[in-house]
Structure 1
Amino acid sequence: MMIDTDLASVQEVRDCLALAKTAQKVLQQMTQSQIDQIVQSMANAAREEAKRLAVMAVEETGFGKVADKLTKNLFAANDIYQAIKARKTVGIISRDEANRVWEVAQPVGIVAGIVPSTNPTSTTIFKALIAVKAGNAIVFSPHPAAAKCTLETARLMQEAAERAGGPAGLISCIAQPTMAAVQELMTHKMTDVILATGGTAMVKAAYSSGKPAFGVGPGNVPVYLHESADVPTAVGHIVASKTFDNGTICSSEQAIVVDQSIKRKVIAELKQQGAYFLDDHEKKQTAAVIMAGGGLNAQIVGKSPQAIAEMAGILVPDDARLLIAEETGIGKAYPFSIEKLSPILALYTAGDWQEASDICHRLLELGGLGHTIGIHCQDLQVVEAFCIDKPASRIIVNSGTTFGAIGATTGIQPSMTLGCGSFGNNITSDNIGPEHLFNVKRVAFGIREMKQKEVVPEAKAQPNSAAGQMTVSREEVMEIIKSVLAEMKL
């Protein structure tokens, strides 16, 4: 008998949501200590299985590198866990005794976790940890190209939760990812909030679902090298950041903007550290494979420089770590200027920091509004002037943007979901964490009486007042009459 795949996937979503609803009610009755034990068990399981999940992700999607996928999994299991483990997320989470206000956390309920193909296992670990820490159940919708590794990661998280006393159905994943299933998950009455990571179309669908949603935008990240930069260190940060997992993290650099005064030094250092500069012919050939159908060619995402070169019909050295082309134009007609999600960079030249600022601003407007920008500079006055008006939620100074934006090398909250604020049509510019997945109620005690303005009765008009009838004496009337008659010569 033929089974309609869409109908089967929709029913699967409904089944997952029903189990999640029951599980969340159980979780909501647990103490902070009990939830923390569950989250710890999940982090431990993610740590133990990090390499196997990394291998699965690369084998299934063909994106990135196993070693770097492993690093991302461990970042979620270690760094993110360490950042959230001590936070209060149950009951009264703060008491302002001076103003007599208590803040009380209450879970949102059921989270719909939309997972991308570029970072499937690490994103699933991350979202599961913050959802459960905040007292919620979560149902994952994987990208079809990463369905198996996402499903396996969710299964491991659920088993770890149950070992620590968590309820069945707390963490689940759709096994048959279809558009109908995603739509059902995002719009179903049992879904309380959407945590969406993926392409622009998916994020827009999340915001159009009628549900509260945390979505993220694309990250066409420019990085500026000011003349005061420590060039070897700055280039080292950029190369390590851009080549990490073959550029699949959306906060990775997409374009370098360099001051003319240090350009030769920067190019020499880039070549020294493994960058291959494309000549005019190679640039044209590579540009042809960056774009497909008016947008980014998915075939180059997460691929090595050698694999991309082969697609373009050119030869690059076996030890080339990334491809760079000098560019002057910005827009869809200039493929090197868009977000490439691969080890490809554009190189722009600026006369000074003001011109560099304009170039970076235009690159963000092309496809990275609200996301991330980088600057390598030792002059704090320039850093301040440069960053103050940028439409980016994360301005990373003297660090690779891949690692700085997610909080691995900066003091920003560690996260795998980076909000772009109103610049990028997102609800928040924060790095998403557990605090975004519970409601905060406020218990407020009366501490003062309401001051009321004293009402003064209106004065009544007096007959002899200026506001009433004017009165004069009889003698004054006679004098007035005499004066008038005299004037009339009567």
Structure 2
Amino acid sequence: MENFDYDLQSLQEARNLARQAKQAQAALAKYNSEQIDRIIQNMVKVAEENAVSLAKMAVEETGFGKVEDKTMKNKLASTELYKFIKPMQTIGIISEDPVNKVVEIAEPVGLLLGIVPSTNPTSTAIYKSIIAIKSRNGIVFSPHPSALKCTLQAAKLMNEAAVAAGAPPNIIGCISKPSMAATNELMKCDEVDMIIATGGTAMVKSAYSAGKPALGVGPGNVPAYIERTANIQKAVQNIITSKTFDNGTICASEQAVIVEECIRDQVVAEFKRQGGYFMSAAETEKVAQKLFVRGHAMNAKFVGRSAAVIAESAGITIPAGTKVLLGEQQGVGPEYPLSYEKLTTVLAFYTVKDWEEACELCIKLLKNGGVGHSLAIHTENPAMAMKFSEKPVFRILVNTPSTHGGVGISTGLAPAFTLGCGTWGGSATSDNVTPLHLINKKRVAYGIKDCTENTTSTVAACVAEKCATGAVSEEQIMNVVNEVIALLKKRGEH
């Protein structure tokens, strides 16, 4: 009976939040650019002030990652995001084409449902709140149950900051009694206009099957290829920096390292020098047994954990100061568990003969759970980077940590915590999601071609004229039609 009551309360809360936020959004839709910018500035300020406390809350509640890195993610989701989106035109006339006489006007999507993962709870809530308000949308969050308190707090702070700067009350809401029933209600209720889903594959598929527009993102299984011309010391440093950032909780982090035979020994030595530990086959098997449940599903107990925690749990001894664990794999698929996504400080390690073999292996790894997401390549040969641009991903990250590159810390990509995988990965977009994905475009189009004369009668008259002299072939009729089209185009130009 208690569970039944909880589910009813959860469902009712979801409905109330949706109604309140929808009403608030209708008011926000009338705001101008200056008003919206003032609101966002205050949200950014509050996010900055609470970046550390929210990071601490997230680590304490979930056990995932590191406070200093979650702090950085909170700042990326606010300060750095604001710098990137400030010049974006999301209100009123956003473009005018004087030649074709088309004017584009931005309209908000309406009310968004934001689904938040446990791996990046506070940064995702901050990021989605800000891009929603920038495009004059309201948003209601469905938090992951294991990250409820920190997500709720982040959403509360964003709503309070927005309202304090002039936004309508309840413009940002968050379920405090999470349940599948509540999430499903929000996905399907009339008030919600679009879903932004960041989370597991099952959740993303549910979002796309809810019968309304959705922006969902798939998993990453990022291969990192160290090509023979690479700066090996820098490449290894980038990979370790990326994989240890928040202990690998970002889906753009590297999952497998691929090296050519000719540089293998140098790469192995460099990893060992910088804090990598190469596990034996027996140790790799022990770690894999801890990391995965139900086949290749990641065990939540080891998401975002340090190498030391994983090693201790698996009963293996590693040197003090070890940053990442590496396990050699000879193939891809169920028999090679490290060939799957591992949102923690463990990497698969592969040796190949040449770049062609590296290409084939990258494709196999991507098809093993990361198609459309990201690929990292370390090379001093620009032509090689372009060869790898042909792979089935939408982010080819060159000579940079893939975590930092994918979310826009170390590259010119849009700062984002929703990274689209395109149709290859089952996503509606291949972009890093920004406010421009959250607007409708209305178009005012002036007539530029004269269509006042009855085209059908013109063609008929021309054909009749030709027929007067005898039989007409199909080719002659097409010639007449083309003459008429050319004539109409000419009239339209004057």
- Trace 1:179-198 onto structure 2 (pairs within 5 A): 179-198=180-199
1:322 partner amino acid: V
Displacement of 1:448 in angstroms is: 2.6
8 Å CA contact retained: 1:91, 1:105:
yes
Task: Map 1:283-302; keep pairs closer than 5 Å.
Answer: 283-294=284-295, 295-302=297-304
Where in structure 2 are the equivalents of 1:138-157 lying within 5 Å?
138-157=139-158
Partner in structure 2 of residue 404 of structure 1: 405
Closer/same/farther in 2, CA of residues 6 and 459 from structure 1, 3 Å limit? same
- Cα separation, 2, equivalents of 1:23 and 1:291: 44
Cα deviation for residue 40 of structure 1 reads: 0.9
Which 10-residue stretch deviates more, 280-289 or 219-228?
280-289
Query: Equivalent residues in 2 for 1:72-83 (5 A)?
Result: 72-83=73-84
How many Å apart are 1:333 and its aligned residue? 2.0
Worse overlay, 153-162 or 287-296: 287-296
- The TM-score with structure 1 as length reference comes to 0.92
SS of residue paired to 1:166 = coil
Whether the 8 Å CA contact 2:142–2:178 is kept in 1: the answer is yes
Query: Partners in 1 of 2:371 and 2:35 — Cα distance?
Result: 40
Query: Per-residue deviation at 1:97?
Result: 1.9
* Amino acid across the alignment from 1:342: T
Letter in 2 for 1:339: E
Quote the offset at 1:457 in angstroms: 4.0
User: How far apart are the structure 2 equivalents of 1:461 and 1:67?
Assistant: 84
Q: Which residue of 2 aligns with 1:357?
A: 359
Q: Work out which of the residue numbers 312, 315, 320 in structure 1 matches 2:314.
A: 312
1:8-47 residue pairs with structure 2 within 5 A?
A: 8-47=9-48
Q: Deviations over 1:139-177 (max 9, x none)?
A: 000000000000000000011001111110100100001
Query: After alignment, is 88-97 or 16-25 more displaced?
Result: 88-97
Per the alignment, do residues 245 and 461 of structure 1 end up closer, same or farther by CA in structure 2, a change over 3 Å counting? closer
Matches of 1:461 and 1:426, distance apart in 2: 56
Cα gap change, 1:443 to 1:314, in 2 (>3 Å): same
Equivalent-residue separation in structure 1 for 2:422 and 2:357 (angstroms): 25
Residue 206 of structure 1 contacts residue 215 of structure 1 at CA under 8 Å; is this kept in 2? yes
Q: Residue deviations 1:86-113, cap 9 Å, x none?
A: 2111111111222221111110110000
TM-score (norm 2): 0.92
Partner SS for 1:257: strand
8 Å contact from structure 1 (residues 120, 150) kept in 2: yes
**1:299 and 1:448, CA in 2 relative to 1: closer, same or farther beyond 3 A?**
same
Q: Distance in 1 between matches of 2:360 and 2:20?
A: 52
User: SS in structure 1 opposite 2:464?
Assistant: coil
CA distance in 1, matches of 2:45, 2:97: 35
- Indicate if the aligned counterparts of 1:20 and 1:139 stay in contact, CA closer than 8 A: yes
Aligned residue in 2 for 1:7: 8
Aligned partners of 1:215, 1:75: CA distance in 2, in Å?
Answer: 21
* Displacement of 1:459: 6.2
Stretch of structure 1 that moved more, 139-148 or 309-318: 309-318
Q: Is 1:265 matched up with 2:266?
A: yes
Is 1:334 matched with 2:340?
no
Alpha-carbon shift at residue 458 of structure 1 (Å): 3.1
8 Å contact 1:198–1:216 — kept in the other structure? yes
Task: Call closer, same or farther: CA 1:264–1:91 in 2, change over 3 Å.
Answer: same
**In the TM superposition, what are the counterparts of 1:193-232 in structure 2 within 5 Å?**
193-232=194-233
Structure 2 vs 1, CA of residues 86 and 386 (structure 1 numbering), >3 Å: closer, same or farther? Answer: closer
What is aligned with 1:486? none
Q: Unaligned regions of 5+ residues in structure 1, if any? A: 468-490
Give the equivalent residue in structure 1 for 2:464.
Answer: 458
Shift of 1:393: 1.0
- C-alpha contact (below 8 Å) 1:290/1:336 kept by paired residues: no
Q: State the alpha-carbon separation in 1 of the partners of residues 179 and 155 from structure 2.
A: 18
Structure-2 separation of matches of 1:211 and 1:321: 43
Secondary structure of the residue aligned to 1:362 is helix
Residues 394-436 of structure 1: CA deviation (Å, up to 9, x unaligned): 0101111101111111111111100000111111101100011
- Counterpart for residue 471 of structure 1: none
Give the corresponding residue for 2:480.
Answer: none
Shift in Å at residue 327 of structure 1? 1.1
Q: Does 1:380 align with 2:382?
A: yes
**Retained in 1: the 8 A contact 2:42–2:161?**
yes
Count of residue correspondences? 465
Deviation at 1:346, TM superposition (A): 0.7
The residue identity in structure 1 corresponding to 2:464 is E
Which amino acid is the alignment partner of residue 398 of structure 1?
N
Deviation at 1:466, TM superposition (A): 9.7
Structure 1 CA distance for aligned equivalents of residues 142 and 436 of structure 2: 22
CA distance in structure 1 between the aligned counterparts of 2:161 and 2:30, rounded to whole angstroms: 19
Counterpart position of 1:242? 243
Partner of 2:368, secondary structure, is: helix
Q: Which runs of 5+ in 2 are unaligned?
A: 473-494
How far has the Cα of 1:14 moved from its partner?
0.6
Q: Which residue of 1 aligns with 2:416?
A: 415
CA RMSD of superposed structures (Å): 1.7
Q: How do 1:274-289 residues align onto structure 2 when only pairs under 5 Å count? A: 274-289=275-290
SS at match of 2:342: coil
Alignment of 1:52-91 (within 5 A): 52-91=53-92
Cα offset, 1:465, TM superposition: 8.1
| CA contact 1:353–1:386 (8 Å) conserved in 2 | no
Residues 436-447 of structure 1: pairs in structure 2 closer than 5 A = 436-447=437-448
- Letter of the 1:35 partner, please give it: I
Instruction: State whether residues 142 and 183 of structure 2, in contact with CA within 8 Å, keep that contact through their aligned partners in structure 1.
Output: yes
Q: Where does residue 345 of structure 1 map in the other structure?
A: 347
Is the 8 Å Cα contact of residues 290 and 300 (structure 1) preserved in structure 2?
A: yes
2:154 paired with 1:121:
no
User: How much does 1:378 deviate?
Assistant: 1.0
Q: Cα offset for 1:283?
A: 1.2
**Greater gyration radius:** 1
Cα separation, 2, equivalents of 1:75 and 1:209: 31
Residue equivalent to 1:163:
164
Distance 2:386 2:60 in 1: 44
Q: 1:303 aligns with which of 290, 294, 305?
A: 305
**Cα distance, 1:466–1:309 mapped onto 2, change above 3 Å:** closer
Q: Which moved more, 1:84-93 or 1:137-146?
A: 84-93
Whether the 8 Å CA contact 2:388–2:396 is kept in 1: the answer is: no
After TM superposition, the structure 1 stretch with the greater mean CA deviation from structure 2, 50-59 or 71-80, is 71-80
Q: CA deviation at 1:32?
A: 0.8
- 1:380 deviates by 1.4
In 2, Cα distance between the equivalents of 1:293 and 1:336? 14
Structure 1 equivalent of residue 52 of structure 2:
51
